[in-house]
Chain A
Amino acid sequence: MNAVEMKGITKRFPGIVANDRVNLTVKQGEIHALLGENGAGKSTLMNILFGLYQPDEGEIFIREKKTEITGPNIAGELGIGMVHQHFMLVDPFTVTENIILGSEPTQNGMIDQRKAEKEVQAISDRYGLKVDPRAKIRDISVGMQQRVEILKTLYRGADILIFDEPTAVLAPKEIDELIVIMENLVKEGKTIIFITHKLKEIMRICDAVTIIRQGKFIGRVDVADTDESRLASMMVGRDVSFTVDKKPAQPKETVLSIRNLRVKNSRGVDAVRGLDMEIKAGEIVGLAGVDGNGQSELIEAITGLKSAHKGEIVLNGKAITNLKPKAITHRGVGHIPEDRHRRGLVLDFSIGENMVLQTFDQKPFAKGWTLQYPQIFKHAKRLIKEFDVRTPDIHTPARALSGGNQQKGIIAREVDRDPDFLIAAQPTRGLDVGAIEGIHRRLIEQRDKGKAILLMSLELEEVWQLADRIAVIYEGKIAGWVDPATTTEEEIGLLMAGGQVGTEVSS
């Protein structure tokens, strides 16, 4: 039986056709991947299935019965639940409160807290979704927050579950746990639609794939009959290379050295606890680790966004510890920030203006008190062309660009300033294979030009492919250095979890 069948779905937004006659057929009890690049229209299609949008054309059948899904309520009644990519959780509420919101068990008009907690516990035990029903969302890990999202749908009796890019925010170990959960759910008779652009995950757990590209239906294939590169070319529309082409690194003099660095996190607790590190010109040092082990604080301290209360950061022989971010930037640090929306771009400024966020007050972009827009735009046009940023023009607000093109813009800006040391934090987060390929190539190119690069990524795969040396961070310290050419997943995994491994790699 088909759990879901969407036929010829078309959805138009002002100026864009987000879905153009898209078909989706999902069989009962399968894990079905919905594959497409960012902006291909996956989320639109799923928002239609979940009742948040109404299609302009097309028909939807749930369990072979034609239906109109006019709101999330109706979707809920039909047993459709969505695990959102950007978690739909109320931070100050408890786990239980988030799960029962909108369908609260009551007694005499009051919320029956005890009954609610019991029910949550029961579902959590049944599907192996470990949560603390009384903990507040803001106090629990990302992995647990996601389990709460799944529980929300199960609590409402959903048996068709939409997972919107669920692995994007998870560490490798959490991804493994999620996969076990998904397999459990299918065993219990649930059907899963898995939105993703990660081919490995599709090959690993999915039964079938529907591919859409630029809003159009490309095809439906069984996973057993395909492979990663075929999926990739269907998704992107051209052949894609997966391996990063690079020559061995030729490291030269030390560019950045960090000694005994200590940095507090936003709650006032030491997140970086006496960290030492050296990065040389012409090498990429990969920083691997489970999210929340001090990676963000380390990068914020290097870039001056957070102050270090102990230790020293030296760039090209001069201390830059706790200088103003602007001073650090001008001494030769480039930063591709982890959160490109919050720190990489001013979203409401044009992409052209975003190209001079650090240099707007210098010649030739400024003369005395005034900005020289002709110069700024000339500069922006050059960068956009050189780095292939796809934008209608330079006056388009950064917000309107796709994630990949926003990231290309940031990289263009940072690389063009020609810094000696470049930080790339999660540079390909949320991007699709086509864009990832391009960004990886840029980073290698910068390395070969003799830049020192620190690559922080929660994707172990990415660190592995790009880095010349890997530093594993655990609880604010480098737990060990490994050589990507010889290390194993077990070795890194052990270091990431705080275990001890003997080998030091010298370079």
Chain B
Amino acid sequence: MINSLTDILATTILYMTPLLLTAMGGLFSERSGVVNIGLEGLMTIGAFTAVITTLETHNPWLGLIAAMIAGMLFSIPHAVASITFKADQVVSGVAINFLALGVAVYLVKALYEGAGQTPDVQEVLRKMPIPGLEKIPVIGPALFDVFPTTYLAFIIVFIGYFVLYRTPFGMRLRAVGEHPQAAETMGVNVYRMRYTGVIISGALAGLGGASLSIAIGSQFSESTIAGQGFIALAALIFGKWHPFGALGASAFFGFAVALALKGQLIGLTNYVPSEALSMLPYILTILALAGFVGRAEAPAAIGKPFETGGR
């Protein structure tokens, strides 16, 4: 029983990592007032770039960095469309999703003679146990013997909180997402803040994608991301657009995945079919994205294009 608990906890932590990284990315974009439904696509391009880079350089760390850069680059069209040209942010985000998936799948086929997936990466990121802490019963193996991307995700939560709530940059970013006209009259450059928010979201979502393709998995195919970007967005909403909220919500979604995968260990599948458990994160995501949860907490200016001198 103890072993099963450890197993479920470890699986939760494993699967919450990409969600958490991506949700933290979404946090920066949406707090600045730009809806980012393109997280899915940004994860996709990150996952793809990480695999390709690692295959070429045999260095997964370079893979991570390349994934972040690719995510940033792919977020720029979304920023240009929705901030500079004031396009509908949801439409622009959806376009990013299609574009990223199309580009990634096409390049895989082009690079690997029409294959549907990349070869396996040999030099994937390995779990990094923290000496001493990993020996703690139950939580030791689950929390302190994990992939580097998981440590990174937790660190980013704290950095994110600090940046958003303790620094002038964070305060301006949040102000721009709540009341851009007010921020502008105070001399804050709304466009620059929003661009920054969207590009940070690209970097972190790229990282989130990489954590799926070169840590949890070891290759890239069309189904590597499979809706994780949308679940991350739902985690952001469930988490009320707050770093610690996103942490909790990602853990919750990770737990739902763990139940689906490891439910039989604790006999859960005797009562609930495992298919139903697998559906759980997606159902919660629909509820979140359809607006049944959390809308009241959203940044006030989210989704609204900003016009200088407007009211």
Chain A residues with CB under 8 Å of chain B are 47, 50, 52-53, 71-73, 76, 82, 84, 86, 88-93, 97-98, 101-104, 106, 109-111, 152
Contact = CB atoms under 8 A, between A and B. Distances in A.
Contacts of B175: 90, 93, 101
Interface in B225-247: none
Interface stretch (B52-60, B114-122, B130-138, B178-186): B178-186
Contacts of B107: none
A91 B300 contact: yes
A53 B309 contact: yes
B4 interface: no
Contact of B188 (A89, A101, A106): A101
Contact of B178 (A52, A92, A104): A92
11 contacts: A72-B185, A76-B187, A88-B185, A90-B178, A93-B175, A93-B178, A101-B172, A101-B188, A110-B167, A111-B167, A111-B168
A90 B186 CA distance: 11
Given A91-B300, A97-B171, A102 B166 contact: no
Nearest to B168: A104
A86 B186 contact: no
B192 interface: no
A47 B311 CA distance: 12
Contacts of A71: 187
B185 A84 contact: yes
A90 B182 CA distance: 7
Interface residues of B, number: 21
A90 B179 contact: yes
A457 B214 CA distance: 66
A87 to B, nearest CB: 8
Contact of A88 (B174, B182, B308): B182
The dominant DSSP class at the B interface is helix
10 tightest A-B contacts by CB?
Answer: A102-B186, A88-B182, A52-B309, A104-B168, A73-B187, A102-B187, A90-B178, A90-B179, A101-B186, A110-B166
A89 B175 CA distance: 9
Contacts of A84: 185
Nearest to A84: B185
Among B167, B174, B175, B186, max chain A CB count under 10 A is at B186
A152 B185 CA distance: 10
A88 B181 CA distance: 7
A93 B172 CA distance: 11
Contacts of B174: 90, 93
Nearest to B297: A92
Contacts of A72: 184-187
Given A72-B185, A101-B175, A104-B171, 12 more contacts: A50-B185, A71-B187, A76-B187, A84-B185, A89-B179, A89-B182, A90-B183, A93-B178, A97-B171, A101-B183, A101-B186, A110-B166
B187 A86 contact: no
Interface of B: 166-168, 171-172, 174-175, 178-179, 181-188, 300, 308-309, 311
A152 B167 contact: no
Contact of A102 (B178, B181, B188): B188
Contacts of B178: 90-93
Contacts of B187: 71-73, 76, 102-103
Nearest to B309: A52
Contacts of A50: 185
Nearest to A113: B166
A111 B182 CA distance: 19
Nearest to A101: B186
Nearest to A77: B187
A91 B179 contact: yes
Nearest to A97: B171
Given A84-B185, A91-B179, A110-B166, A52 B171 contact: no
A489 to B, nearest CB: 34
Contacts of B182: 88-90, 98, 101
Contacts of B183: 90, 101-102
Given A72-B184, A91-B178, A86 B168 contact: no
A98 B188 CA distance: 12
B149 to A, nearest CB: 26
Contacts of B300: 91-92
A91 B300 CA distance: 9
B114 to A, nearest CB: 50
Contacts of B186: 72, 88, 101-103, 152
Among B171, B174, B181, max chain A CB count under 10 A is at B171
B179 A106 contact: no
A106 B166 CA distance: 10
Nearest to B177: A90
Contacts of B311: 86
A111 B188 contact: no
Contacts of B309: 47, 52-53
B159 to A, nearest CB: 12
A492 B311 CA distance: 36
A111 B165 CA distance: 9
B183 to A, nearest CB: 7
Among B181, B187, B300, max chain A CB count under 10 A is at B187
B261 to A, nearest CB: 39
A89 B181 CA distance: 9
Nearest to B176: A90
Nearest to A92: B178
Given A72-B186, A90-B175, A101-B188, A106 B181 contact: no
Contacts of A111: 166-168, 171
Contacts of A110: 166-167
A86 B181 CA distance: 10
Given A93-B175, A93-B178, A102-B172, A109 B185 contact: no
A175 B168 CA distance: 34
